[in-house]
């Protein structure tokens, strides 16, 4: 497996023509990148994000639908959460802070995880103050385009609880087709197992 030196942070604008297409499964490496989408800037996580992440992960809806496991979210847990997501060196995930391109404020989180052999899963949340303007859908769309074009992935899956209709809208808006219902497939924040919708996008979908 080749391990080229990690490149410096690079900025990739929407529809940039200058893209390096490669297959992650060949290189085992995912390089840090920044992506823009209208008024959104998706960028790697930084230590300074920890206080905002601590507040976000304490939001009841995020605690329910993006459970972190373990105990209450304190400063130390938030910092290690941010640092784990900032380290892409294993090549199995690409986790981004979704921020305002205007003032840099944290709006949410979007990540590709379980990147392997052309496949990945995508997950997301938005802070309560950012909801109602399709931040998640736009961030998912942008990261998915990057996954197909720059990482050379073929299939990205998205799962959400059937009981979380806002997340279903995010999936639909980002072009993730519904593929079926998984029965009692995941234990969410309240400790109960929920049915989930499986959605997915293929690089070849129109
Ligand atoms: C789900 C979530 C990511 C949506 O993100 P967002 O960018 O803020 O999305 P919006 O508020 O613009 O809502 C997205 C869509 O869901 C719809 N929606 C919002 N709340 C809804 C509800 N309770 N029932 C049905 N639809 C709802 C909105 O009307 C919008 O529809 P549209 O695209 O047709 O306009 C955000 O609400 C969130 O972080 N929730 C808590 C954690 C979570 O659910 N994470 C996802 C785990 S899979």
pLDDT range class, residue 98, cuts 50, 70, 90: very high
Between residues 168 and 25, the one the model is more confident about? 168
Report the separation in Å between the CA atom of 157 and the middle of ligand 1, taken as the mean of its atom positions.
18
The ligand 1 site (C-beta within 6 Å) comprises: 61-62, 65-66, 124-126, 130-137, 160, 164-167, 169-170, 173
Q: How far is the CA of 68 from the centre of ligand 1 (A)?
A: 19
Q: How far lies 30's CA from each of 6, 33, 89, 111, 116, in Å?
A: 8, 9, 7, 13, 11
Per-residue model confidence (pLDDT) at position 204: 97
Distance from residue 66's CA to the centre of ligand 1 (Å): 13
Structure tokens at 53: 């992440």
Residue 191 lies in a domain: no
Looking at every residue in the chain, the average pLDDT score rounds to 88
Mutate which of 57, 59, 169 for ligand 1 pocket (most atoms within 8 A of beta carbon)? 169
Would you state the pLDDT for residue 30? 84
Q: Whose CA is nearest to atom 19 of ligand 1?
A: 166
CB atoms inside a 10 Å sphere around CB 17: 5
Would you place residue 3 in the very low, low, confident or very high pLDDT band (cuts 50, 70, 90)?
Answer: very low
Q: What distance in angstroms lies between residue 166's CA and the mean position of ligand 1's atoms? A: 3
pLDDT (0 to 100) of residue 28: 60
Residue 70's pLDDT is: 80
DSSP 3-state of 5: coil
Which range of residues forms the domain containing residue 52?
35-157
**Number of domain units in the chain:** 1
6-64: pLDDT as tens digits: 232 322 333 333 333 344 444 566 889 999 999 999 999 999 999 999 999 999 999 99
> Is the residue at 9 inside a domain?
no
- Residue 51 main-chain phi, psi, to 5 deg: -60, -40
**Is residue 120 one of the residues assigned to a domain?**
yes
Q: Which residues pair with 36 in a beta bridge?
A: 41
Integer angstrom CA distances of residue 85 from 56, 166, 168, 173: 15, 24, 24, 25
pLDDT band at residue 71 under the 50/70/90 scheme: confident
The CATH number of the domain holding residue 99 is 3.40.630.30
For the entire predicted model, the pTM comes to: 0.89
Q: What share of the chain is helix, strand, coil (3-state, %, to 5)?
A: 30, 35, 40
């Amino acid at each position: 497996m080749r391990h080229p030196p990690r490149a410096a942070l690079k900025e990739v604008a929407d529809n940039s023509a200058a893209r390096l297409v490669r297959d992650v499964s060949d290189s085992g490496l995912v390089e840090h990148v920044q992506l823009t989408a209208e008024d959104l800037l998706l960028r790697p996580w930084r230590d300074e994000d920890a206080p905002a992440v601590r507040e976000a992960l304490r939001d009841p809806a995020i605690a329910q639908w993006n459970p972190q496991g373990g105990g209450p979210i304190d400063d130390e847990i938030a910092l290690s959460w941010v640092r784990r997501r900032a380290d892409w060196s294993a090549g199995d995930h690409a986790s981004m802070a979704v921020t305002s391109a205007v003032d840099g404020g944290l709006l949410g989180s979007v990540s590709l995880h379980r990147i392997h052999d052309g496949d990945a899963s995508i997950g997301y949340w938005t802070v309560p103050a950012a909801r109602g303007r399709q931040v998640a859908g736009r961030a998912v769309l942008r990261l998915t385009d990057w996954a197909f074009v720059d990482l050379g992935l073929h299939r990205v899956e998205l799962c959400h609880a059937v009981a979380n209709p806002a997340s279903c809208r995010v999936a639909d808006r980002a072009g993730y087709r519904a593929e079926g219902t998984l029965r009692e497939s995941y234990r969410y924040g309240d400790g109960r197992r929920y049915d989930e919708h499986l959605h997915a996008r293929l690089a070849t979908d129109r």
